[in-house]
Amino acid sequence: MKASFVTHKDSALTHEAVIRLTELAGELGIGLSASEDELSRHDLSTSDVQVADGSERMGVCICLGGDGTILRGLRSYAPAGTPVFGINFGEVGFLAASEPESEGIEQGLRRALTGGWETIDLPGLRVTSEGGEQLAFNDVALQRRPGLRVAEIAYSVASDEVGRVRCDGVVICTPAGSTGYNLANGGPVMAWGVSGFTVSFIAPHSLTARALVVAPNDQVRVGNQSESEPVDLFLDGRPSGELQPGKLLAVDFVERAGLLAQTEGATFYHRLREKFGRLAN
């Protein structure tokens, strides 16, 4: 078996766990790999960890961090068919399979390396624009730039224009991403396993703008109707370009974009209660 890892951008948070991971992998006879950036940040040599770019299929990619880190692991390793196992070192960790606070880092690492988990298929969103194609697992957001005027967004579904809204932006999300930015917009929470995606608006200047759940086979096209001001594009919370005035981008639902590891028997509703219930206390 081969395994890879991705860590939180604050390397101090996960350094001890990474060192223990390399030791455990050696004890279990598992080849370990990571990007050159990970090796540099954790002062590892290629005698301990091989260099990998995510293109080779691994037995598992272990993500030490929060949801942002797990999403980064999915974007890097899921296209090759590698399951992604998250150990939460972040705030929410909704996508994580292991919580160090409850089971300890050692047990989480061992479970990740020895296959003590099951996988679920995660859908994604394929974004097509003049800049080419990109993939998101949580959400696609178009946002007006700070200091500029309110954005003017038009969107259509399956070639039919649905509406034009003056707003601070628009968010298109998968079920996995529905508990993020979409939830803050008042959009619906969709259970994992629901086939479809949602369009919701950020601070709409309208009494009629409502979130819409879109059928999985229908394409959403979003246009920037401003005469002079671009809007910024974010994929899974990362800056990913811009949409110029008068331009369009298309978003398609991808049924099986990646594999996410989870605790055997865990459910979406259990995660929803544990993660958001815990934050509310």
Same-domain status, 91 and 168: no
CB distance 263 to 107 below 8 Å:
no
Same-domain status, 250 and 157: yes
Q: How far is CA 223 from CA 64, 111, 127, 170, in A?
A: 37, 45, 13, 11
Both structure tokens of 46: 């290629």
Task: Provide the pLDDT for residue 277.
Answer: 67
Q: Are strands 197-202 and 84-88 parallel, antiparallel or unpaired?
A: unpaired
CB distance 250 to 152 below 8 Å:
no
Same-domain status, 199 and 102: no
Same-domain status, 81 and 100: yes
Rg (CA), the chain: 20
- Residue 178 main-chain phi, psi, to 5 deg: -70, -15
Domain limits for position 10: 2-117+263-280
Same-domain status, 138 and 167: yes
Task: Provide the pLDDT for residue 281.
Answer: 46
The domain that holds 220 is classified in CATH as: 2.60.200.30
Same-domain status, 86 and 156: no
Task: Provide the pLDDT for residue 278.
Answer: 56
d(CA 110, CA 118): 14
Both structure tokens of 176: 């996995």
Helices 11-28, 105-114: crossing angle, 10 deg rounding: 50
Query: How many separate domains does the chain show?
Result: 2
168 in catalytic set: no
Same-domain status, 195 and 93: no
CB distance 226 to 218 below 8 Å:
no
Task: Provide the pLDDT for residue 135.
Answer: 95
Query: Which stretches in the chain have pLDDT values below 50?
Result: 280-281
Q: How far is CA 133 from CA 4, 129, 130, in A?
A: 26, 7, 8
The domain that holds 98 is classified in CATH as: 3.40.50.10330
User: Can you spell out the DSSP letters for 240-257?
Assistant: EEEE-TT-EEEEEEEEEE
Task: Provide the pLDDT for residue 268.
Answer: 81
Task: Provide the pLDDT for residue 188.
Answer: 93
65-81: pLDDT as tens digits: 999 999 999 999 988 99
CB distance 181 to 252 below 8 Å:
no
Same-domain status, 163 and 239: yes
Alpha-carbon torsion (181, 184, 188, 190), positive or negative: positive
Same-domain status, 109 and 148: no
Same-domain status, 170 and 251: yes
- Residue 277 main-chain phi, psi, to 5 deg: -65, -40
Q: Which of 67, 139, 232, 236 is catalytic?
A: 67
The single-letter DSSP state of residue 80 is G
Question: pTM (2 decimals)?
Answer: 0.90
Identify the CA nearest to 232 among candidates 168, 174, 172, 182: 168
Same-domain status, 78 and 169: no
Same-domain status, 135 and 249: yes
